[in-house]
Amino acid sequence: MAEVIIVKNEDEAGEIYARCVADLIKAKPDCVLGLATGSSPLAGYRHLAQLIKDEGIDVSGVRGFALDEYAGLDPNHPESYRSVITRTVVEPLGLNPDQVHVPNGNLDTIREAGHEYDEAIAAAGGVDLQILGIGTDGHIGFNEPGSSLASGTRIKTLTEQTRIDNARFFDGDIDQVPTHCITQGIGTIMKARHLVLMAFGDGKAEAVAETVEGGVSALCPASALQLHPHATVIVDEAAASRL
Ligand code: GLP
């Protein structure tokens, strides 16, 4: 059963995440952070950057693994998840870019890339704390409804709804949104020692209710969190309104 924390707003959620990660880095300077894109983690990254500065925390040993990446998109494209993670996490936190990994969406190597990514996470000792957002359909990473709960990192097709949701990052033009992605599997995500899922706004209320109180099912990939020994769900009142 996931622990649910209801907060006033994204800022308060971000403060909780930031405190938790800052303490983790102090206790384990070479810890492994699981990173996510999307708007939900942004306040957390912002507060963490501030704590690192205010408390003079040494982050030189911190390692990171992102959840997912578009397939076939130039990594230098401003909306590639490589670019987004660099802009929102690596630079503001001052992490060593060589120690922060994003799945490789290059189409020539994508079939082996998933397995190699899971091996790299395992070789790093596994993820200590994984931050997660959630899609309106209950997806985590890019594990859309129907994804195997035991899946590893692999290529997936994006649903029409997710491409519509993400068109805002591509001049509002769905044709520019890649059709495929490479994403950590639910099985990969479940190996992290602590999962912290954040969701805000009433658009996420249904997905949050399914995640926390629905049956565990591949139809709501985030419901796998119910099986995790240490999962924390941080939501505002709107996202908690169907609980
Ligand atoms: C994308 C990402 C997910 C993210 C989701 C929700 O699909 N692949 O990791 O959780 O968007 O994004 P947001 O937090 O902006 O609502």
Ligand 1 atom showing the smallest separation from residue 204 Cα: 16
Name the residue of 17, 35, 40 to mutate for ligand 1: max ligand atoms within 8 A of Cβ. Answer: 40
Predicted confidence (pLDDT) per residue in 180-197, tens digit:
999 999 999 999 999 999
Number of domains in the chain: 1
Residue nearest to atom 9 of ligand 1 (CA): 141
Residue nearest to atom 1 of ligand 1 (CA): 38
Domain presence at residue 242: no
pLDDT band at 12 (very low <50, low <70, confident <90, very high): very high
The answer to whether 186 and 222 are in contact (CB under 8 A) is no
Domain presence at residue 240: no
Classify 100 as helix, strand or coil: strand
Query: Cα separations (Å) of 176 from 75, 104, 126, 173, 226?
Result: 15, 19, 34, 6, 36
The answer to whether 16 and 234 are in contact (CB under 8 A) is yes
Predicted confidence (pLDDT) per residue in 16-65, tens digit:
999 999 999 999 999 999 999 999 999 999 999 999 999 999 999 999 99
pLDDT of 199:
98
Percent share of the chain, pLDDT over 70: 100
Domain presence at residue 201: yes
Q: Is ligand 1 within 6 A of the CB of residue 80? A: no
Length of the chain: 243
Residue 73 sits in a domain of what CATH number?
3.40.50.1360
The answer to whether 134 and 143 are in contact (CB under 8 A) is no
- Average pLDDT over every residue of 200-218: 97
Q: Who contacts 73 (Cβ-Cβ below 8 Å, separation ≥6)?
A: 79, 80, 105, 178
Q: Quick one: how far is CA 11 from the chain centroid?
A: 18
pLDDT of 135:
93
- Average pLDDT over every residue of 199-221: 97
- Average pLDDT over every residue of 199-225: 97
Give distance in angstroms: CA of 199 to centre of ligand 1: 10
Classify 4 as helix, strand or coil: strand
- 42-54 and 10-27 helices cross at what angle (nearest 10)? 50
Domain presence at residue 180: yes
Give distance in angstroms: CA of 41 to centre of ligand 1: 9
Ligand 1 atom showing the smallest separation from residue 142 Cα: 8
Ligand 1 atom showing the smallest separation from residue 200 Cα: 16
Question: What ipTM was reported for this prediction?
Answer: 0.95
Sheet holding 68-70, edge to edge: 68-70, 180-183, 154-157
pLDDT of 7:
98
Give distance in angstroms: CA of 56 to centre of ligand 1: 30
Domain limits at 34? 3-235
Ligand 1 atom showing the smallest separation from residue 37 Cα: 9
Domain presence at residue 241: no
The answer to whether 182 and 69 are in contact (CB under 8 A) is yes
Residues forming the active site: 68, 137, 139, 144
What pTM value is reported for the model? 0.97
